[in-house]
A and B are shown apart, each in its own frame.
Chain A
């Protein structure tokens, strides 16, 4: 089956620093999605990517769909304490509509 490797597993940063995390896949995806999950909540969609090479921003967040369609990255600029949470990448490939494969998550801690 499809495998997604997300790194890093955790990050401890100071407020104001930039953050970068990425996901790589063993197979090609048609869609890359980035989610954030706060404690006790469901994942909330941050950015959706649909085309290879696509670069999309949402406020301080920027994500890119890799040219090979096997990777994606998420950058957070000028981090703030409310950025704390778990960030997940997810991919959908082929004709597997309704099925997402998730990365293991990146736990982000921001020190004021």
Chain B
């Protein structure tokens, strides 16, 4: 059971380039989320998904696209990278128990530098 995995671990992009950050989980969790972490700002939600085929925007969605074709995978796409997207990106998955009980588990992160 690998939990939540993310690739790549590090990436350097030039402004305007596109790329996809990969995220996969093997825990059969319904919910998956993408966060970015910037110094002094904690983690901010980019996009999230409550199941295959269903996605929604979080707090900072601009410049990012997501899709959820399977329960296991939740890729994050940057269509035209900007320096403001330099950050550490975390993917998380969670399960939901009866009575509004949710627990999220995080991947190791992808460190992105946009020049």
- Residues of B at the A interface (CB closer than 8 Å) are 4, 30-33, 35, 40-45, 48-50, 58-59, 90, 92, 94, 96, 99-109
Contact A31 to B48, CB < 8 A, known contacts A98-B31, A104-B42: no
The chain A residue sitting closest to B41, CB to CB, is A104
Answer whether A42 and B90 are a contact pair too, CB < 8 Å, given A50-B100, A88-B43.
yes
- Tell me, rounded to whole Å, the shortest Cβ–Cβ distance linking B31 to chain A: 4
Give the distance in Å from the alpha carbon of A56 to the alpha carbon of B48 in the complex. 28
Interface contacts (Cβ under 8 Å), in number, total: 71
Q: In the complex, what residues of A have CB within 8 A of residue B90's CB?
A: 42-43
Query: What string of 1s and 0s marks CB contacts (under 8 Å) between A31-47 and chain B?
Result: 10101000011111100
Interface hub of A30, A41, A102, A104 (most chain B Cβ within 10 A): A102
A1 on the B face (CB < 8 A): yes
Q: Which A residues, 73 to 112, have Cβ-Cβ distances below 8 Å to chain B?
A: 88, 90, 92, 97-105
Contact B48 A98 (CB under 8 A): yes
Hey, which bits of chain A sit against chain B, CB under 8 A? 1, 6, 30-31, 33, 35, 40-45, 48, 50, 88, 90, 92, 97-105
Given contacts A48-B103, A97-B31, contact A105 B49 (CB under 8 A): no
* A42 touching B42, Cβ below 8 Å: no
Partner of A100, one of B4, B30, B104: B104
Residues in chain B near residue A88, CB distance under 8 A: 42-43
Least CB distance from B22 to A in Å reads: 15
Report whether A41 and B103 are in contact in the complex, using a CB–CB cutoff of 8 Å.
Answer: no
Q: Which residues of chain A are near B94, meaning CB under 8 Å?
A: 97-98
Residues of B within 8 A of A90 (CB): 43, 104
Q: Contact at A100–B42, with CB atoms within 8 Å?
A: no
> Measured between alpha carbons, how far is A8 from B92 in the docked complex, in Å?
26
Which of B48, B49, B100 is most buried by chain A, counting CB atoms within 10 A of its CB?
A: B100
How distant is the Cα of A100 from the Cα of B44 in the complex, in angstroms?
A: 9
Provide the residues of chain A in CB contact with B35, threshold 8 Å. 102
**How far, in Å, is A29 (CB) from chain B's closest CB?**
10
